Chain A
Amino acid sequence: MNEIGTFDILGPNMIGPSSSHTAGALRIAFIAGKMVEKVKHVKFVLYGSFARTYHGHGTDRALVGGILGYHPDDERIRESFEYATEAGLTFSFEENFTDKEIYPNTVDIYVTGEDGRSMSVRGKSIGGGNAVITRLNGVEVELTGNYSTMVVQHIDKKGMMAFMTTVLSAYDLNIGSLRLYRESRGKVAYAIIEVDTNVKQQVVDALCGFEAVQNVILVPAIDLD
């Protein structure tokens, strides 16, 4: 169990009105926004309470703000639609009321980058401004964004784990956690690596050196100070 500190109680410093519907939603989109190079279009599909109350909670503005890379305490969130338009980012929202089994504060985010690459990200807001990414391109994962995180998309293949740990130790990175997620043997898989410090581009380049690796995505931790 994570210890509760002073600023878990007096915090987060956030744009209102709801830690789960505003700050937590932003966090999911912040991570999704890092999944492709410069997001040009994004579609959000909202479930449960997100779908029912997103206007009044500013969930929609928070989600767009997250794609723009804003932090939960950024006062531009309220006007994020205008800033997105200025930045050439198009966005749309859909409500899903049919899927009732899903966790109430869930959003699916489909991002498309400048180079046409796209990715789907499912996240849930779990309260207190915290969030968890639960799916990447349909593969079930777990990613909190509380640490600097590398997402290594690869073809499931022997020797992958050994290769990654070798690279990480060569660059003197302390691994907080390293988990592998795959849909089925020999198909696309994701390694999610959380580290204590920021990751340099050389590490990404080194990881891309393995033939099975398709893409390495860096997600910086949201610094709330």
Chain B
Amino acid sequence: MNFTNGAQLLEYCEKENKKISDAMFERETGYLEQDAERTVKKMQKAWLIMKAAAKKPLTEDIVSMGGMIGGESRKLHTLREEEKNICGSVVSKAIAYAVGVLEVNASMGLIVAAPTAGSSGVLPGVLCALQEEYGFQDEEICQAMFNAAAIGYLITRNATTAGAEGGCQAEVGSASAMAASAAVELFGGTPGQCLDAASFALVNILGLVCDPIGGLVENPCQNRNAMGASNALISAELSLAGIKSITPIDETIGVMYAVGKSLPSELRETSLGGMAVARTACETCQACMSKRHSK
């Protein structure tokens, strides 16, 4: 079984009464001839790494290589524990875990690129929060990760997940779409609802630029991972409520790709535009770097 776009995936799921995660697993073990047991084990390992990365900042002090981030996750957890948070525990946890993974990533810790290192906080943020708040088992989460992978595959196959090609909308946008679809499946939504949630997530941050300060995966990447996680939850909720996407996922992915290509190169990971050239941001970055080098 193979599929190369969302229409084929949806048709297969509806005809065979399968979840998107089932279809992706079947593609992996059938069409791509990967061993089923090994595939399951690899996913379990990816989930363990994601969870460990999301929770590491709770017990360790982290300073990033560039010195611009570190400690944000703990601040968010503390705010929630003191019941001073605005967002409610699901969203508060999701954003706290998402920024935590970016801290680990920026300090040369172990993460899973999902789909990229710069967007690696979104999916673990959403999944860790949903597991804690709704009691999903590890097996259920791992299954949902195949759903997320299917969305990431469709975007990679038919557009891009690289910031240098499509801006942040292609990185955090894709991660957000993946997490949204996985969340819908976890909550019993149909394959169609999963794809609609993915569409919402992409459309909501269409056009977002990639402008890393100092060229480093720190700021504004970290906060955008928090945004990507919350956007995933919002998009999942919109879809679960029965709201339909105006475009099918394939068209949405095409729109995202077209917008990405029309972004000027200054706003696609080159650090020649956006926040990367904001005077104060540059000064902060240089101060961090020289402080680190003088150590």
Binding site for B on A (CB under 8 A): 3-19, 22-23, 49, 52-53, 55-58, 61, 73, 75, 77-78, 127-129, 225
Contacts and interface: CB of A to CB of B under 8 A. Distances in A.
Contacts of B7: none
Contacts of B146: 6
Contacts of B156: 4, 8-9
B109 A10 contact: no
Given A16-B105, A55-B65, A73-B110, A9 B115 contact: yes
A56 B291 CA distance: 12
Nearest to B50: A10
23 contacts: A5-B32, A6-B24, A6-B146, A7-B149, A10-B46, A10-B115, A10-B148, A11-B113, A12-B112, A13-B45, A13-B111, A14-B111, A15-B110, A15-B111, A16-B120, A17-B118, A18-B118, A19-B116, A53-B216, A58-B108, A75-B109, A128-B116, A129-B113
Given A49-B215, A56-B289, A57-B65, A7 B46 contact: yes
Interface stretch (B34-42, B72-80, B81-89, B234-242): B34-42
B289 A13 contact: no
A7 B111 contact: no
A56 B65 contact: yes
A212 B123 CA distance: 54
Interface string B98-113: 0000001111111111
B108 A9 contact: no
Contact of B114 (A9, A16, A53): A9
A95 to B, nearest CB: 14
Nearest to B115: A9
Given A3-B32, A75-B109, A11 B46 contact: yes
B141 to A, nearest CB: 12
Contacts of B43: 6, 10
Interface in B38-72: 38-39, 42-43, 45-46, 49, 64-66
Nearest to B38: A225
Contact of A10 (B32, B104, B112, B218): B112
Contacts of B157: 4
B117 A17 contact: yes
Nearest to A225: B42
Given A4-B153, A6-B43, A15 B113 contact: no
Interface centre among A9, A13, A127, A225 (most CB of B within 10 A): A9
Given A16-B104, A18-B117, A78-B108, A57 B152 contact: no
Interface in B128-175: 145-146, 148-149, 152-153, 156-157, 161-162, 164
Interface centre among B45, B113, B156, B289 (most CB of A within 10 A): B113
A52 B113 contact: no
A215 B105 CA distance: 40
Contacts of B111: 13-16
B45 to A, nearest CB: 7
Given A55-B65, A56-B214, A19 B113 contact: yes
B279 interface: no
Contacts of B45: 13, 225
